[in-house]
Amino acid sequence: MIQLHRISPLDPADAFPDVSSALDQPPGLLAAGGDLSTERLLAAYRRGIFPWYEAGQPILWWSPDPRAIMRPSEFHVSRSLRRTLNRGHYETSIDGDFAGVINSCAAARPGQQGTWITGEMEQAYSRLHELGWAHSVETWHSGALVGGVYGVAIGRVFFAESMFSRSSDASKVALVRLTTDLQRWNFELIDCQMSSPHLASLGMREIPRSDFVAQLERLCSAKPQDGAWTE
């Protein structure tokens, strides 16, 4: 029986085991415990690790292999999405309503019971946003927030966390704005964490975890274009 690595809240922020020790089942589960302090979250992301757990569970840390990623320049704009963009019905913003985006991502969705974005997670990422690490892109229609995406930016990597849509293509429109600006700011990588058919249709692909971690070592210490994350 494999014993999962345990982290104490008193342990140093970077007290994670090597990602190569992550379990095969469930895929990528690396450790449990610790806390969601800003220091621990940033240390985790820089090592290719992210938190994902449900209410009532301990904090669970993951690093799946292979890793789902996207290059900003490889985002696929379908014909139908192009038509949506050309209609000009939507407007977008950057960090215009981070609280609204993460709260909407946390809301229960049809066919789902509960959410993995707990109140503790919302507070932790709101702190990251206040400190300039977490960011959101919003999609608006007639003054109402109808879609968006949020994540963490370190160096030239955007670690995407979640997105939501209340209107057709609204989250995809936010992704178009995100990938366009990331290219402009010299970002090279978007972490999608785990693959899905929906993400694959947008340009996501999988790479070995070892390649992903090696790229993080270089990209997380690089600087994006000056003026990134400002309108």
- pLDDT higher than threshold 90 for residue 2: no
Task: Label residue 13 exposed, middle or buried (CB < 10 Å: 0-12, 13-18, 19+).
Answer: middle
DSSP state of 195: -
Instruction: Domain 68-219: give its CATH code.
Output: 3.40.630.70
Mean pLDDT over each residue of the chain, to the nearest integer: 94
Q: What percent of the chain has pLDDT above 90?
A: 89
For the chain, the farthest-separated pair of C-alpha atoms sits apart, in whole angstroms, at: 57
| Greater model confidence, 140 or 227 | 140
Domain with CATH 3.40.630.70 in the chain: 68-219
> What pLDDT does 114 receive?
47
> What pLDDT does 110 receive?
56
Question: Which of 49-53, 152-156, 197-201 is least confident?
Answer: 197-201
Residue with tokens 């290219």: 183
> What pLDDT does 111 receive?
54
Q: What is the mean pLDDT of residues 79-88?
A: 95
pLDDT level of residue 175 (50, 70, 90 thresholds): very high
Rounded to whole angstroms, how far apart are CA atoms 18 and 30? 9
- pLDDT higher than threshold 70 for residue 58: yes
Domain with CATH 3.30.70.3550 in the chain: 5-65
Type of residue numbered 198: H
Over the stretch 12-44, which tens digit does the pLDDT of each residue have? 999 999 999 999 999 999 999 999 999 999 999
> What pLDDT does 226 receive?
83
* CATH entry, 5-65, from 1.20.1440.230, 3.30.420.40, 3.30.70.3550, 3.30.9.10: 3.30.70.3550
pLDDT level of residue 225 (50, 70, 90 thresholds): confident
3-state secondary structure of 59: coil
Over the stretch 129-161, which tens digit does the pLDDT of each residue have? 999 999 999 999 999 999 999 999 999 999 999
Q: What is the mean pLDDT of residues 206-210?
A: 98
- pLDDT higher than threshold 90 for residue 55: no
Q: What percent of the chain has pLDDT above 70?
A: 96
Rounded to whole angstroms, how far apart are CA atoms 146 and 10? 40
